[in-house]
Amino acid sequence: MMEPKEIAGLIKDRYPTEVKDITEFRGQVSVVIKKDRLKEIMKYLFSTPELYFDYLEDLCGVDYAGKKDNRFEVVYHLYSMRHRHMIRIKAEVPEDDCNIDSVTDIWAGANWHERECFDMFGIRFNGHPDLRRILMPEDWEGYPLRKDYPLKADLGEMEWKGYKETIEIAERNKIYEIR
């Protein structure tokens, strides 16, 4: 088992211009990278025998809205079942170029995580096999986990198109309720 700092060092040695920062907080190490060579870095982490990150634990988005130069990050939590070590990779995604390469061809389990990140933050995953909403209705406008998404709105202006239809169906279904 390698320590996370050692793994971060290997990534930095192999991709010195792509690694922007390495941080540690409460024993967890994060490697912040530029998004351009994400796929290459992830394939390296997956296919290198001494690393062999065969399990994508989680993938999520973060919106820094005005706190960083690049507004978004996509965060990958990787684990090696064989070696029992882990690392966190953070790829920066600018608001004006809000896309990043999909890793579904490396870890099939990334499929739904990438769809959720797209649905909630609007980050597009290049090469994703089926990039569409997963939590919100297809005709939903906006991305609910963005910091600029309104917390409260005038429903007349921002009402979901399917809202009235859904209420009508729910009312009709009350007839069939078991009491």
State the virtual CA torsion across 48, 50, 53, 54 in degrees, nearest 10: 80
pLDDT for the residue 172: 79
pLDDT for the residue 160: 63
pLDDT for the residue 105: 97
Joined tokens for residue 128: 């994703």
- State which residues of the chain have pLDDT below 70: 152-161, 163, 175-179
Q: Report pLDDT digits (tens) over 44-71.
A: 999 999 999 999 999 999 999 989 889 9
Q: Which fold has domain 4-176?
A: Beta Polymerase; domain 2 (3.30.460)
